[in-house]
A and B are shown apart, each in its own frame.
Chain A
Amino acid sequence: AQKITQTQPGMFVQEKEAVTLDCTYDTSDPSYGLFWYKQPSSGEMIFLIYQGSYDQQNATEGRYSLNFQKARKSANLVISASQLGDSAMYFCAMRERETGANNLFFGTGTRLTVIP
């Protein structure tokens, strides 16, 4: 089974509007972390936001917020007030404590296009 599922290959949003990128995950580890990364065409993965499995509050970082619904195993990224520079690939990722290693499991990504 896929550990991270991103069902939206592509999304479009009007500049200055908000957009939600979906992510569901699958794990039996009670302790895990969820991440969102942005990957522009240059290729570098840029860390956006982190949510720990025991965090009570949804994570927020500037215009980014993570809608964490533990029972549904979903960790959707919300980008408010979209900007043209937000056009990129967005990846959801998970780290499980039980693996012992520092590896992230990534989804297949969502390509976001911001329309002026």
Chain B
Amino acid sequence: DAGVTQSPTHLIKTRGQHVTLRCSPISGHKSVSWYQQVLGQGPQFIFQYYEKEERGRGNFPDRFSARQFPNYSSELNVNALLLGDSALYLCASSPPGRSGEQYFGPGTRLTVT
């Protein structure tokens, strides 16, 4: 079975631009979570979506938004990019009834210049 997939793998953007990152969960998984991992740190929770509804939000500014589609894939959008947004963005999906288990994708490495 295919794991969690994310696109693109790498991305370079300029300050002030916006970016859209994409995630496809494991087949059958309805919950998707997004994390930001700055170099040298552990991942930090951004959003969780379940059945297309936001279920949780971390301590991130409103420049960060996300949505989930009927096929359970998800997009993370970041507006007005700052240098500090440079990070590895990880997506994780969870199986129904076992929301504590999270399976991560390979991540998208975003560099803001």
Q: Which residues of A are interface residues toward B (Cβ below 8 A)?
A: 4, 33, 35, 37, 42-47, 50, 91, 93, 95, 99-109
Residues A103 and B88 in contact in the complex (CB < 8 Å), given A43-B107, A47-B102, A93-B42:
no
Assess the A106–B88 pair: CB atoms within 8 A: no
* B contact residues, range: 20 to 34
Residues A103 and B42 in contact in the complex (CB < 8 Å), given A42-B106, A44-B105, A44-B106:
no
A22 to B41, CA, bound (A): 16
Assess the B48–A102 pair: CB atoms within 8 A: yes
A14 to B48, CA, bound (A): 40
Write out the residue numbers on chain B whose beta carbons fall within 8 Å of the beta carbon of A101.
45, 48, 55-57
Chain B positions 26 through 51: 1 when the CB is less than 8 Å from some CB of chain A, otherwise 0: 00000101010000111111001010
Binds A, one of B13-21, B62-70, B78-86, B93-101: B93-101
Write out the residue numbers on chain A whose beta carbons fall within 8 Å of the beta carbon of B58.
103
Q: Is residue B72 contacting chain A, with contact meaning CB distance below 8 A?
A: no
Write out the residue numbers on chain B whose beta carbons fall within 8 Å of the beta carbon of A44.
104-107
Assess the A103–B56 pair: CB atoms within 8 A: yes
Can you spell out 15 A-B residue pairs with CB atoms less than 8 angstroms apart?
A: A4-B42, A35-B100, A35-B102, A42-B106, A43-B109, A44-B107, A45-B92, A47-B103, A93-B42, A102-B31, A102-B33, A102-B55, A103-B58, A104-B43, A106-B44
Chain A, Cβ-Cβ closest to B56: A101
Q: Is residue B76 contacting chain A, with contact meaning CB distance below 8 A?
A: no
Assess the A102–B99 pair: CB atoms within 8 A: yes
A93 to B90, CA, bound (A): 15
